[in-house]
Amino acid sequence: MRVRLLFALFALAAALPARAAPAEFPVAIKGPKGEPVADAVVSLTPVDGATVPPPAADGEIAQQDQEFSPYVTIVQAGSKIVFPNRDKVQHHVYSLSKTKKFELPLYNPGQAESIVFETAGLVTLGCNIHDWMLAYIVVVPTPWFAKSNPLGLASVTAPAGRYRLELWHPRLATPVTEEITLAGADAAKREFTLTLKPDRRIRRSNATKSGGY
Ligand SMILES: [Cu+2]
């Protein structure tokens, strides 16, 4: 009886139309002069009530050569990020952002603490010892996101549905938001031209680069 019920369920599942396979949504991000923009974050959050799978992978932000690597990290809310210190010097990683406040004081070479980011939002990382160290974590409520490469290209692979597209960049004054529909087939490449603020990152002098703490 039980076996027969199982067969019936399998038959039913096979007869149901399968949800369209995920398709690519490619974007090209440009600056005001048409130059490619790297490190832009594209995320697609369902607005049609579609279920979102839980985070699949942890993130990693290393401290290496007295810099954070990578500069921009995107994770789904609920994800864990590991912070390995690959330097021979101490760091003091901190965030004062309301999305997630934390600090890793007296953070020794070889340490690799991890922190869970429960809430969607922006987290700005700094180091109390090395002023120039700066990185961003964009926590998004969706597993469908991508970061633009040095050619300004990114591609999000997501199932068919209706989404709120959000575009963020460290130098973007206001995030770009719009609603889009993915039909279940690879979409045509969308181009976004962003108005960017000047890069205000602290320049690191050669003296501090070769020195250690
Ligand atoms: Cu540091």
What DSSP assignment string belongs to 67-95?
EEESSEEEEETTEEEEEEB-SSS-EEEEE
pTM across the whole model: 0.86
In this structure, which CATH number among 2.30.29.30, 2.60.40.1120, 2.60.40.10, 3.40.1170.20 belongs to the domain 20-51+142-197?
Answer: 2.60.40.1120
Q: Please tell me the distance between residue 75's alpha carbon and the centre of ligand 1 in angstroms.
A: 22
Structure tokens at 208: 């501090």
**What dotted CATH number matches 53-141?**
2.60.40.420
Protein residues within 5 Å, CB atom, of ion ligand 1? 91, 127, 129-130, 133
Query: What is the spatial distance between Cα 186 and Cα 179, in angstroms, rounded to a whole number?
Result: 17
Same fold yes or no, 20-51+142-197 and 53-141: yes
Q: What is the distance in A from the centroid of ligand 1 to the CA of 133?
A: 6
Distance CA 209, CA 173 (A): 30
Domain boundaries, the chain: 20-51+142-197, 53-141
Cα-to-centroid distance, 74 and ligand 1 (Å): 21
CA–CA dist 115, 58 (Å, integer): 10
Q: Return all residues near 163 (Cβ < 8 A) that are at least 6 apart.
A: 44, 45, 46, 47, 144, 179, 180, 181, 182
Give me ligand 1 centre to Cα 93, in Å.
Answer: 7
- Confidence band, pLDDT 50/70/90 cuts, at residue 212: very low
Give the Å distance between the CA of 103 and the centre of ligand 1.
Answer: 12
Predicted local confidence at residue 17, as pLDDT: 47
**Per-residue pLDDT tens for 150-192?**
999 999 999 999 999 999 999 998 889 999 999 988 889 999 9
For residue 170, count other CB atoms closer than 10 A to its CB.
20
CB contact at 8 A, 56 and 94: no
How many A from CA of 90 to the centre of ligand 1? 7
95 Cα–ligand 1 center, Å: 13
Give SS3 for 62. strand
Q: Which of 158, 138, 154 is nearest to 146 (CA)?
A: 154
pLDDT at position 205 is: 65
- Bigger pLDDT: 13 or 140? 140
What per-residue confidence (pLDDT) applies to 98? 97
